[in-house]
Amino acid sequence: MHEAQQQNVSFCFNTELRLTGDGSAQQQEGTYMHTLFKRGLAALALSALFNIPAMASNPGISQPDTMILGDSIFALSGDIHENLEAELDENIDTYARSGCQLTGGNILCSRLYSVENQYARADKSGIRTVIFNGGGNDIQLNSCRPSLSACMPLLNDLENRIAALVQKMRNDGIEEIIFLGYYNAVGSAEDLHDINNYSMNYKAAAYPGMGVKFVDVRADFAGREAYYITRDGIHPTAAGSRVLADKILQALD
């Protein structure tokens, strides 16, 4: 439409210069312009007609009260988000991005979109529930792996940052906070089991005292990895995402 408008403006300008010719030329130009005008109105009406159903069915019209933050467990397929919206029959804001760390950035995800900054940049008006994860990429991309002892400083820093983020959420009036834990990955990520189990066990013990609902999914995936984890050994399949969504639904008030 924008290009058509520009062409019409250009045409009108050129026509105005040519109207100094004979009367028949002016009449022909006027008839042509009238035809273009009618076609333009018809195109606008047709565009509006096609846009009406889209606007009427736009799920963004209702105000969400839940948001998702995190990494590719949520963002790569988007299945968890879609499953939650379908089951709850409501809109959920999501700021999760693939490759993002809890803090800092990498070649896949700028620090602007770290989980900390996802929350900082999010529209929090009307939000009462936050569902999030984070830290998986911080560990995966760190040279301390696969040594648990070498990764302890990183793990401690991540927990301190999560605690600070939770406090910000509380200060903003967030009523319900859910942390989706990581299952034990397979393949090239199998050497992270000790680190992940330590991290998940810590969360299971500490998060209730912080007022955070910790969703531990390790037992749900154990022995079912071939069905619930994609060939990359890390991300959930559609069936795996369904399990994760169901676990979150069980935790929601």
pTM equals 0.76
The CA–CA distances, whole Å, from 92 to 60, 65, 95, 127, 149 equal 9, 7, 10, 10, 38
Residue 3 banded pLDDT, cuts 50, 70, 90: very low
pLDDT confidence of residue 16: 37
Q: What is the mean pLDDT of residues 236-253?
A: 98
Q: What is the mean pLDDT of residues 35-61?
A: 38
Residue 53 banded pLDDT, cuts 50, 70, 90: very low
pLDDT confidence of residue 61: 52
Q: What is the mean pLDDT of residues 129-136?
A: 99
What are 63-75's pLDDT values in tens digits? Answer: 899 999 999 999 9
Q: CB-side exposure of 217: number of CA atoms within 13 Å? A: 29
Residue 253 banded pLDDT, cuts 50, 70, 90: confident
pLDDT confidence of residue 43: 38
pLDDT over threshold 90, residue 150: yes
Q: Which CATH class is domain 62-251?
A: alpha beta
Q: What is the mean pLDDT of residues 206-228?
A: 98
* Terminal Cα distance for the chain, rounded: 47
Q: What is the mean pLDDT of residues 193-207?
A: 99
Percent pLDDT > 70 in the chain is 76
pLDDT over threshold 80, residue 211: yes
Q: What is the DSSP string of the chain?
A: -HHHHHHHHHHHHHHHHHTTS-HHHHHHHHHHHHHHHHHHHHHHHHHHHHHHHHHHT-GGGSPP-EEEE-SHHHHTT-HHHHHHHHHHTS--EE---TT--SSS--SSS-GGGSHHHHHHHS--TT--EEEE---HHHHHTSTTTT-HHHHHHHHHHHHHHHHHHHHHHHHTT--EEEEEPPPPP-GGGGGGHHHHHHHHHHHHHHGGGGTEEEE--HHHHTT-HHHHB-TTSSSB-HHHHHHHHHHHHHH--
Comparison of pLDDT for 11 and 32, the residue scoring more: 32
Percent pLDDT > 90 in the chain is 75
Q: What is the mean pLDDT of residues 5-27?
A: 40
pLDDT over threshold 90, residue 165: yes
What are 74-124's pLDDT values in tens digits? Answer: 999 999 999 999 999 999 999 999 999 999 999 999 999 999 999 999 999
Cα(205)–Cα(208) distance, integer angstroms? 7
